[in-house]
Structure 1
Amino acid sequence: MRMIQALWGHRSFIVGSVKREFQSKYSNSLLGAAWTVIRPLMMIIVYTVVFSQIMRAKLAGADTPFAYSIYLCAGILTWSFFSEIVGRAENIFIENANLIKKVNFPRLCLPVILIANASINFAIIFGLFTVFLIVTGTFPGLVYFAIFPVLAIQILFSAGLGITIGVMNVFFRDIGQLFAVVLQLWFWVTPVVYPMSILPSFVQGLVKLNPMTNLINAYQGILVNQQWPDWYSLWPVTALSIFLCFWGVHLFRKHVGEMVDEL
């Protein structure tokens, strides 16, 4: 509770930092915030060209011309949101070492600023994707709003994992390098570009242990099949997300003094 009060007391600092980071990111760019859309769009185009003919027939219950493209968007856009948070969080305290040493503020403002900026980027591109769904007549209707609780779980999971990795990386710098490799492998063991049904049954059992699998499946079920998520299947990742958030904050509060010395 005290931590939340401290963050709220520094809300002007957080909002100002979010604005500065967003503006500085695109200040000398001709295309500006359009790069937020271009990068994932290029990934989606490449995967569509490479995999569409192979995968389209494998999508159960998908009978529209845009089915595989929507399937890819549902997976890639939400995965990119996850990877942006955890990928940047691993170095968040190291990159802001000078600020941490010189300015007195709740250090957990830094992950909050990171998550806010990633959320803005995600909102821009997912908003455009939603417009695409409406224009093409593939908008899923009321079930679309089930995305928001799934998204909340994902943000909790990303934040908890990111803070934990970020704290550990201050003391053991190899963790950041190792996690970058793990994140790349993690993408391919998550059913983002392929449906899980094409995997052998014993591999499916292993892939289901991946906490991102049920989240990505939930998005794809909502947007491709227009189905409500299996909420029961999301309980394990929800429990893990809450645990990681508490553990990450505990780890941070326990070692924050040592972190300043290490930085």
Structure 2
Amino acid sequence: MLGLLRSLWSFRAYVASSILADFKTRFVRSRLGFAWVVLNPLAQVSIYAFILSGLMASRIPGIDNTFGYAIYLLSGLLAWNLFSEIVDRLMKVFIANANVIKKVRFPRIVLPVIAVGTALINNAALLVVMCVLFALFGHPITPAILLVVPAALLVSAFAACIGMILGVLNVFIRDIEQVVPILLQVVFWFTPIIYPVNIIPERFHSLLELSPMFHIVDSYHRLVVYAQPLQWSSVLYIVVLVLILLPLAMFLFRRASAEMVDVL
């Protein structure tokens, strides 16, 4: 692990320049450029709000605001988009960089780090826009929102562990890339993002709480929507999962690193 950290530090300039290059590549031919980072999730929010706000607005507890459903939805999507983007990027990172891996000698761990760094910047841009929208909606922005930063880092660590495992497996089993988006959709709809948990019968709550994303999204709702303190049991649950998944992800990565070159 220390060797990987030293490799990352020695390639820190490459990581930074690669993140910048990623943005340039994605937006150089686009008139709106970086705006697409926030326009896509905002369009998603607008669609859900337009279709469901009349049905859900009165069911969001503790929000006395005309735009209460949009506020609730935005905060949940802030967490979900970070998680799903990191998982998606890392699942494809080794295949997408196959030519570089085969031709250039460098610590391959920098590829997942670049992907996570790019996703975090995208999410930070969405957070800034979200705060502006909340101000326009008349929703108070409290100091509790600052805790979104460490929460985002914890979400990133959890998503990176899952993404690394899937990324290594995807090199050898290409069906992974087809199956995971379906599983993510299932998890999305079983997580209280577009609906509040209070509309689910209480006997099913214990099942929902088995999902790590339930605890992550609930933490974002507490910080952003209700300005409440985090439930440390939820934080501890995610930390324990990271501590379990991280050694597994690093073991698979180190074990399969040499073989990936041949398969790619």
- For structure 1, the residue ranges without an aligned partner over 5 or more in a row are none
Report Cα offsets for 1:70-94 as digits up to 9, x if no partner: 1000011221111111012111101
Secondary structure of 1:192's counterpart equals coil
Q: CA–CA distance in 2 between the matches of 1:242 and 1:155? A: 13
What TM-score does the superposition give when structure 2 sets the normalisation length? 0.96
Matched, 1:54 2:37: no
Q: CA–CA distance in 1 between the matches of 2:43 and 2:126? A: 13
Secondary structure of 1:91's counterpart equals helix
Q: CA–CA distance in 1 between the matches of 2:142 and 2:101? A: 46
Q: CA–CA distance in 2 between the matches of 1:64 and 1:112? A: 39
Aligned match of 1:202: 203
Q: CA–CA distance in 2 between the matches of 1:223 and 1:67? A: 12
Moved over 6 A (4+): none
- For structure 2, the residue ranges without an aligned partner over 5 or more in a row are none
Q: CA–CA distance in 2 between the matches of 1:17 and 1:149? A: 24
Q: How many angstroms does 1:200 deviate by?
A: 1.5
Aligned match of 1:27: 28
Aligned AA (1:84):
E
Report if aligned partners of 2:131, 2:141 keep a CA contact under 8 Å in 1: no
Aligned AA (1:231):
W
Aligned AA (1:101):
K
Aligned match of 2:148: 147
Q: How many angstroms does 1:198 deviate by?
A: 0.6
Q: CA–CA distance in 1 between the matches of 2:239 and 2:121? A: 23
What TM-score does the superposition give when structure 1 sets the normalisation length? 0.96
Q: CA–CA distance in 1 between the matches of 2:189 and 2:137? A: 29
Report if aligned partners of 2:8, 2:110 keep a CA contact under 8 Å in 1: yes
Q: How many angstroms does 1:66 deviate by?
A: 2.2
Secondary structure of 1:33's counterpart equals helix
Aligned match of 2:90: 89
Aligned match of 1:244: 245
User: Paired residues, what number?
Assistant: 263
Aligned match of 2:107: 106
Superposition RMSD in Å: 1.3
Q: How many angstroms does 1:135 deviate by?
A: 4.1
Report Cα offsets for 1:195-252 as digits up to 9, x if no partner: 1111112322211111010110111122221211112222112110232222111110
Aligned match of 1:75: 76
Matched, 1:117 2:122: no
